[in-house]
Amino acid sequence: MYHDPVLLNESIEGLNIKEGGIYVDTTYGGGGHSNEILKRLGKGSLIAFDQDKDALANKPDDNRLVLINQNFRYMRNFLKLYKAVPVDGILADLGVSSHQFDEAERGFSIRFDAELDLRMNRNKGFTAKDIVNDYSVHQLKEIFQNYGELKNAWRISQMIETARKEKEISTTNQLKEILAKAAKAGQENKFFARVFQALRIEVNDELGSLKDMLIQASGVLAKGGRLVVISYHSLEDRLVKNFMKSGNFEGKIEKDFYGNPQVDFRMITRKPLVPDDDEILRNNRARSAKLRIAEKI
């Protein structure tokens, strides 16, 4: 299976799909969420995005679906191109697909030895190998501290700097061997998951793309349209929560002269929805997922 869609029923119900509406799936992947949308769409239309060209092979023969091989940060431009503004709902599943984790040569998984790649879009030249070999020790420290939330970010960065003076760091196993002594005993997998998360976020500018998409969502959604986002770590979830609540990424609600809050969305989920035990047992990669839903006012 290319990817087992996470929180499938909850996210599709959250979209509150109207037959004949226009919907967006910003992260097509294996098409699991999109296929469920199409089942309920009637004569409507679905515009989907995925920057990974591998996802294009999953497109069904359905003329209601337009699948665009681009980063979702360009959503507004393509929606205007296809004369699809306003839309009735936007869905974003921000996780890395099972396919990407399981394709060893992509470098997403700590289970395999592979080139330090981590690109969602393999047409992009910049890779994780460039980061670990070319970034300054101070830049590395910022990445591991801010994107991996690693308390020993400075030590990690110094270990990389020392190792790369001897030999270029090219593979996942090389990096793991270099940093092995920085991981707490019994927590090695968690440690390396955060190291690789930090590199992946930097390679793909994931948080910048997410911010761009959220800002655009506010402008392209019709009144009553739904924004549904599944995130997988606190950095993403914090941005999504703050934006849905306040319209900015700091979470500060602005008020007009009369004290009325100036917000674009009404929160449908006060607390995020999470997978139940059955789903986690079926798909362990769902364990950290959080689903938030908001409606355009």
pLDDT value at residue 99: 59
For the stretch 125-151, pLDDT in tens is: 899 999 999 999 999 999 999 999 999
The length of the chain, given as a count of residues: 297
Predicted local distance difference test score (pLDDT) of residue 97: 67
Contacts of 94 (CB under 8 A, 6+ apart): 27, 206, 210, 229, 230, 231, 232, 236
Cα 156 to Cα 176: distance, rounded to the nearest angstrom: 11
Looking at residue 95, its pLDDT comes to: 83
pLDDT at 111: 75
Average pLDDT, the chain: 94
Q: Which of 225, 237, 211 is nearest to 268 (CA)?
A: 225
* Residue 232, pLDDT score: 95
Smallest Cα–Cα separation from 235: which of 264, 273, 194, 279? 194
Exposure b/e, 43-53, CB count within 10 A at least 16 = b: ebbbbbbbbbe
pLDDT reported for residue 4? 80
Average pLDDT over residues 173-184: 97
pLDDT in tens, 197-233: 999 999 999 999 999 999 999 999 999 999 999 999 9
60-75 pLDDT per residue, tens: 999 999 999 999 999 9
**If pLDDT is split at 50, 70 and 90, which confidence band does 190 have?**
very high
- Cis peptide upstream of residue 86 (ω within 30 degrees of 0): yes
The pLDDT tens digits for 54-111 are 899 999 999 999 999 999 999 999 999 999 999 999 999 998 766 565 565 666 667 7
Q: Which residues are registered as beta bridge partners of 231? A: 290
Give me the domains of the chain, ranges plus CATH numbers: 8-98+206-296 (3.40.50.150), 105-204 (1.10.150.170)
> Does pLDDT of 3 surpass 80?
no
What is the band of 42 on the pLDDT scale with cuts at 50, 70, 90? very high
Can you give the pLDDT at residue 96? 77
> pLDDT band at residue 268, thresholds of 50, 70 and 90?
very high
**Can you name the residues that pair with 90 across neighbouring β-strands?**
24, 227
